[in-house]
Structure 1
Amino acid sequence: MKRLRIAVVTPRYAISGVPLAQWRLAAALAARGHRVDLIIGRCDTDLRVPDAPGVAVHVLDRAQTRGMFAPLVRYLRRERPDAVFSAEDHLNTFVLLAAIVARSRVRISGSSRVTPFDTYSNRAFTKKWVLKQLARSVAWRADALTCVSRDMVAQYAEVFGTTRHACVYNIVDQPAARARATEPVEDGWFVDRSVPLVVAAGTLAPWKGFDDLIAAAAILRDRGRMVRLVILGEGSSRAALEAQVAAAGLADRVRLPGRVSNPLKYFANADVFALSSHVEGLPNVLVEAMLCGCTPVATDCPTGPREVLGGGRYGYLVPVADPQALADGIAAALDRPIAPDMLAQAVEPFEESAVIARHFALLKLDAS
Structure 2
Amino acid sequence: MTLRILYLIDSLGVGGAECSLLEITRRFRQTSVAVCHLYPEDSLRPDFEAAGIPVYPLDMKGRYPGPQAWRKLQAVQQAVQPDLLHITGLFAGLLGRSMGKVQGVRMVDSFTNETYTPAHYASLPPRSRLKLRALYVLDRLTLRWVDRIIANSEAVRLCNAATLHVPLQRVEVIYRGRDPAPFLSPQSDRMEELRCRFELAGGGPVIVNVARLIPRKGQAELIQAMPAVLHRFPTARLLLAGEGHHRPQLQALIEHLGLAQQVTLLGTVRDVPELLALADVFAFPSHFEGLGGAVVEAMMAACPIVAADTPVHREMVISGESGLLVTPQHPGALAEGILWMLDHPAEAEAMGRKARQVALEKFHIDGVAARYEALYRSLAKAN
For normalisation by structure 2, the TM-score amounts to 0.83
2:113 is paired with a residue whose SS is coil
Displacement of 1:238: 2.1
Matched, 1:308 2:316: yes
Structure 1 residues 102 and 280 mapped into 2: Cα distance closer, same or farther (>3 Å)?
A: same
AA aligned to 2:313 is P
Structure 1 residues 220 and 148 mapped into 2: Cα distance closer, same or farther (>3 Å)?
A: same
Displacement of 1:146: 1.6
1:92 aligned residue: 93
Displacement of 1:36: 1.6
Q: Deviations over 1:19-63 (max 9, x none)?
A: 22222233233xx35322121112337776434322111222113
Matched, 1:352 2:357: no
Displacement of 1:136: 3.9
1:213 aligned residue: 222
Displacement of 1:92: 2.5
AA aligned to 1:6 is I
Displacement of 1:305: 1.6
Structure 1 residues 3 and 262 mapped into 2: Cα distance closer, same or farther (>3 Å)?
A: farther
Displacement of 1:127: 5.1
2:55, 2:189 → 1: CA distance?
Answer: 27
2:187, 2:142 → 1: CA distance?
Answer: 41
2:143, 2:256 → 1: CA distance?
Answer: 50
Does the 8 A contact of 2:10 with 2:91 survive in 1? no
Q: Deviations over 1:250-285 (max 9, x none)?
A: 222211121222322211221111112122221111
2:371 is paired with a residue whose SS is helix
Does the 8 A contact of 1:109 with 1:145 survive in 2? yes
Does the 8 A contact of 2:12 with 2:43 survive in 1? no
Structure 1 unaligned runs (5+)?
none
Does the 8 A contact of 2:40 with 2:60 survive in 1? no
2:116 aligned residue: 117
Does the 8 A contact of 2:239 with 2:263 survive in 1? yes
Structure 1 residues 175 and 70 mapped into 2: Cα distance closer, same or farther (>3 Å)?
A: farther
Does the 8 A contact of 2:183 with 2:301 survive in 1? no
Q: Deviations over 1:195-220 (max 9, x none)?
A: 11111122222222211111111111
2:100, 2:189 → 1: CA distance?
Answer: 43
2:37 aligned residue: 40
Structure 1 residues 131 and 250 mapped into 2: Cα distance closer, same or farther (>3 Å)?
A: closer
AA aligned to 1:37 is A
Structure 2 unaligned runs (5+)?
122-129
Aligned pairs, number: 357
Structure 1 residues 182 and 357 mapped into 2: Cα distance closer, same or farther (>3 Å)?
A: farther
AA aligned to 2:109 is G
Q: Deviations over 1:315-360 (max 9, x none)?
A: 1101111111101111122223143541222212221222123223
Structure 1 residues 183 and 135 mapped into 2: Cα distance closer, same or farther (>3 Å)?
A: farther
Bigger shift: residues 20-29 or 292-301: 20-29
Matched, 1:269 2:278: yes
Displacement of 1:155: 0.8
The structure 2 residue matched to 1:328, chosen from 327, 336, 346, is 336
1:149 aligned residue: 153
AA aligned to 1:143 is D
Stretches of 4+ moved more than 4 A in 1? 45-49, 118-121, 126-130, 174-183
2:349, 2:71 → 1: CA distance?
Answer: 49
Structure 1 residues 233 and 160 mapped into 2: Cα distance closer, same or farther (>3 Å)?
A: closer
Does the 8 A contact of 2:25 with 2:369 survive in 1? no
Does the 8 A contact of 1:108 with 1:144 survive in 2? yes
1:92, 1:304 → 2: CA distance?
Answer: 23
2:45, 2:81 → 1: CA distance?
Answer: 27
Q: Deviations over 1:76-117 (max 9, x none)?
A: 23321123322124423432221121123xx42211112142
2:19, 2:234 → 1: CA distance?
Answer: 35
Does the 8 A contact of 2:186 with 2:273 survive in 1? yes
Matched, 1:246 2:255: yes
2:126 aligned residue: none
Matched, 1:171 2:172: no
Does the 8 A contact of 1:116 with 1:159 survive in 2? no
Bigger shift: residues 179-188 or 317-326: 179-188
Does the 8 A contact of 1:172 with 1:287 survive in 2? yes
1:4 aligned residue: 3
Bigger shift: residues 42-51 or 254-263: 42-51
1:312, 1:280 → 2: CA distance?
Answer: 21
Displacement of 1:287: 0.8
1:71 aligned residue: 72
Structure 1 residues 47 and 54 mapped into 2: Cα distance closer, same or farther (>3 Å)?
A: closer
Does the 8 A contact of 2:291 with 2:312 survive in 1? yes
Does the 8 A contact of 2:210 with 2:240 survive in 1? yes
AA aligned to 1:57 is V
Q: Deviations over 1:102-151 (max 9, x none)?
A: 123xx422111121425999xxxx65555444434443432311211101
2:230 is paired with a residue whose SS is helix
